């Protein structure tokens, strides 16, 4: 039963009211896995379940608690083998004390602890593959394999699911479920973004009112493709494309050498005043709304394509590398006719192809752009909504509880 789970909320499948579900994750700081943990906990609480999260802490703990989740302080970030072995018993005792019925791990080190505790307590064990874990050596593959050992293994994209099957066929078997990451469409919608937020952000970026923004929103690391976009910007400038500002929005996370490399490339290509490196952006809905085009030019596979989804939700055309999971988020020829596209896919690392697509996107007339905006929004609503993600996840929990109840009464 490989493939994508598409069900409704648990109330349509089996009740979760009164159930106790524990998620375990190293920390609750900003990130895709952490955000999903909080979103699922909030949905569990709304369904009448107890939503426990075992973690060391983090900036999202307050939000978790405000939305009905319960924080259980736990040394989930530890990678020390001796500490992890001790933590198996500690987590098992916690599960017994709290009456936990399902354990859901979202990271490798705590997943080994959770697997041991779940098996000791005879509890259903769920894992979520949030990324394409690196490593091809035997030891590393074995370490990563814990994420394929769940009774249900959730993959955040079809690309990730295929990766799991290829690397861990014996562990994963037929237990993979594809549940795409969900976007809160009440926040990522044009109606929710006031013009003042957009104008304030453009001023902070140093973008002139008449300039069209090409936005790359990603942390500053080489595989995210900032260099490819800079090279594409130089090609566009040489073709006579004017009034365009290239905005690189992302935290360098201490990569000082890469910052210097990008600045040197901008200077070498004569793009000072055109390329703006603006650091972390806290208001992503306004950022995507401020952009005329969003680029996702990754040169290594992404496990999902959050920026592409959020940009389409805000009505902004997107151009992505035809690599990894990101193409799953964008409708583009040859899969669909040109009249049905929601964005462009280009070969990874190809600055000329990226420049071509950017020029095409920037030259869209008002009617063509409005039509693409509507298609993108419909596409995201159908496949990448927060409601869909949490509904599918809670349906997995409900199915496991129903099977457990059936086995108990046999």
Q: What is the DSSP annotation of 148-177?
A: G-SSEEEESSHHHHHHHHHH-HHHHTT-EE
Pairing label, strands 343-346, 244-249:
unpaired
242-256 burial string, b = 16+ CB within 10 Å, else e?
Answer: eebbbbbbbebeeee
Domain count, the chain: 2
Domain identity same for 123 and 161: yes
Domain identity same for 31 and 73: yes
d(CA 268, CA 310): 33
Q: Closest by alpha carbon to 262, among 281, 243, 247?
A: 247
Whole-number Cα distances in Å, 133 to 88, 143, 172, 187: 23, 10, 15, 30
Residue 385 CA from chain centroid, whole number: 12
Q: Is residue 131 part of a domain?
A: yes
- Judged by phi (left if over 0) then psi (alpha if -120 to 50, else beta), residue 347 lies in beta
Domain identity same for 166 and 211: no
Task: Tell me which residues of the chain have a pLDDT lower than 70.
Answer: 1-14, 133-135, 409-410
Q: Closest by alpha carbon to 354, among 321, 384, 393?
A: 321
pLDDT (0 to 100) of residue 134: 64
Domain identity same for 297 and 170: no
Instruction: Quickly count helices (H) and strands (E) in the chain.
Output: 15, 13
Domain identity same for 172 and 268: no
Domain identity same for 173 and 291: no
Domain identity same for 144 and 213: no
pLDDT (0 to 100) of residue 410: 65
d(CA 271, CA 234): 7
89 neighbors 60 (Cβ within 8 angstroms)? no
Q: Is residue 67 part of a domain?
A: yes
Residue 278 CA from chain centroid, whole number: 22
Q: What is the pTM of this model?
A: 0.85
Q: Closest by alpha carbon to 96, among 81, 118, 74, 77?
A: 118
Q: Return the structure tokens found at 88.
A: 């198996």
d(CA 287, CA 66): 27
Mark out the alpha helices in 122-255 (DSSP H runs).
Answer: 138-144, 158-167, 169-172, 195-205, 226-238
Domain identity same for 227 and 369: yes
Across all residues in the chain, what is the average pLDDT?
92
Q: Is residue 258 part of a domain?
A: yes
Coil, strand or helix at 23 = strand
Domain identity same for 27 and 54: yes
Sequence-ordered list of residues with C-beta below 8 angstroms from that of 394, at least 6 positions apart, any chain: 9, 10, 16, 40, 43, 44, 47
Domain identity same for 84 and 128: yes
Q: Is residue 4 part of a domain?
A: no
Burial (CB count <10 Å: 0-12, 13-18, 19+), residue 130: buried
128 neighbors 104 (Cβ within 8 angstroms)? yes
Q: Is residue 393 part of a domain?
A: yes
Stated as kind and residue range, the H or E segment containing 319 is strand 318-321
Q: Return the structure tokens found at 273.
A: 């005043």
Q: Is residue 2 part of a domain?
A: no
Domain that holds residue 33: 10-182+385-408
Q: Is residue 5 part of a domain?
A: no
Domain identity same for 168 and 204: no
318 neighbors 312 (Cβ within 8 angstroms)? yes
Q: Return the structure tokens found at 261.
A: 């490399």
Q: Is residue 3 part of a domain?
A: no
Q: Closest by alpha carbon to 183, among 287, 310, 291?
A: 310
pLDDT (0 to 100) of residue 310: 96
β-pair partners for 129: 155
CATH number (domain holding residue 34): 3.40.50.2000
Domain identity same for 230 and 139: no
């Amino acid at each position: 039963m490989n493939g994508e789970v598409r069900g409704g909320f648990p109330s349509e499948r089996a009740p979760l009211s009164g159930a106790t579900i524990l998620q375990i994750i190293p920390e609750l700081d900003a990130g895709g896995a952490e955000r999903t943990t909080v979103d699922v906990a909030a949905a569990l609480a709304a369904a009448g379940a107890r939503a426990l999260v075992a973690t060391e802490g983090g900036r999202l703990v307050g939000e978790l608690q405000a939305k009905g989740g319960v924080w259980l302080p736990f040394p989930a970030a530890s990678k020390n083998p001796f500490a992890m072995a001790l933590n198996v018993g500690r987590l098992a005792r916690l599960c017994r004390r709290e009456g936990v019925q399902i354990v859901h791990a979202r990271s490798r080190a705590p997943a080994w602890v959770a697997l041991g505790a779940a098996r000791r307590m005879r509890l259903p064990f769920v894992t979520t593959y949030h990324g394409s874990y690196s490593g091809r050596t035997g030891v590393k593959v074995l370490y990563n394999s814990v994420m394929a050992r769940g009774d249900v293994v959730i993959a955040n994209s079809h690309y990730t699911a295929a990766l799991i099957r290829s690397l861990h066929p014996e562990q994963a078997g037929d237990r993979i479920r594809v549940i795409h990451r969900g976007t809160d469409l009440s926040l990522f919608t044009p109606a929710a973004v006031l013009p003042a937020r957009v104008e304030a952000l453009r001023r902070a970026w140093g973008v002139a009112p008449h300039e069209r923004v090409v936005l790359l929103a990603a942390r500053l690391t080489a595989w995210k493709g900032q260099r490819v976009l800079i090279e594409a910007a130089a090609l566009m400038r040489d073709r006579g494309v004017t009034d365009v500002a290239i905005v690189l929005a992302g935290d360098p996370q201490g990569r000082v050498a890469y910052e210097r490399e990008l600045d040197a490339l901008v200077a070498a290509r004569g793009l000072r005043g055109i390329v703006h490196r603006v650091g972390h952006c806290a208001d992503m809905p306004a950022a995507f709304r401020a952009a005329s085009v969003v680029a996702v030019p990754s040169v290594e596979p992404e496990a999902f394509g959050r920026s592409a989804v959020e940009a389409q939700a805000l009505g902004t055309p997107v151009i992505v590398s035809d690599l990894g999971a990101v193409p799953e988020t964008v409708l583009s020829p040859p899969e669909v006719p040109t009249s049905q596209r929601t964005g462009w896919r280009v070969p990874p690392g190809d600055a000329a192809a990226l420049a071509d697509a950017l020029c095409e996107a920037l030259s869209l007339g008002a009617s063509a752009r409005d039509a693409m905006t509507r298609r993108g929004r419909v596409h995201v609503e159908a496949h990448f909504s927060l409601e869909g993600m949490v509904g599918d996840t809670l349906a997995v929990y409900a199915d496991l509880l129903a099977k457990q109840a059936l086995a108990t009464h046999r």
